[in-house]
A and B are shown apart, each in its own frame.
Chain A
């Protein structure tokens, strides 16, 4: 294997030095990470989702489940978009294109392959009489839920909740109600608002008992939410 010449090595060394963190970076991130991990930096501190009681603090298990769930929701959004958006010439009407939203756009969690998503079974949820929906309104729904997903992913459940509330105001009978509800449950759990989360979960269970989002929303909140349904 050939090696680099001295001039190249010098450049590489400079690059490495520029990328290196400072002690302050290390300490700052550590301090920020502590509360996000519930103050417990040992992996044994993670409570198994199947036995974790519902509680106010955000455990890493909940956060992870939330991320996975929202990733799934995002991928589902993509799948829905594929099936619902009419073919359009974006250059002509400015409509969103399928290619514009990559399938993994909200799938940063390793091992969560959108292609492995089960197709959503028929929902029992009753929706308002469907007015003709434009691709534009669906695209706006997608953009909002993607934003909420990104906020959840970045550990900003309050911001995610704000976006989801806005979605509810703008699209009370939108195409992506299940995804919104699932995201809302996860955000509420992340904020420790378990009573509200359980109420939402119960509603989702009632309106969409076969929803693929249901199990993930339950997981995001731990088994406590499930048991109290």
Chain B
């Protein structure tokens, strides 16, 4: 039994892809492989010209840092840090100078409309605001791919719609967007919809039709 079985997928720069499927269909594993958190046991994965199999832990981490932004269903903000510090975190890990770090983090927060909330801690923010902090953190390293794992799963429909609006705008600016979801309405918004079951790609639909 393999989580992924003979999957062949090519995603172009700036594409908007949704990956759909029931739980256990392999869509999360797919996301982890794309996000360099997991490696395929066999087969190859190339990201921006790098064959992942050739990279060691620190090269993988560096590539992840530079190419991929993550958004999670449960936000994964560090509770003891302010919104600004959370956004600074990837740059802190990379060793960017504090002054530049603060400026870039503030800019990223402003771009998701959270400039006035930068000194708040996660527990002082609403769910939608937390996810916007997470988006700011995901884009602050200017990655090429934004990976969103059920980004609206913990949000009410209004905040969810706001989050989708923001990430789709980022996609229009050229950032490849890959959304993993089991919400058919959300999945159908993408320009390309991958349907998965039992670790295999069942369907690969361009310009899917929004279900009624």
Whether A and B are associated in the same complex: the answer reads no
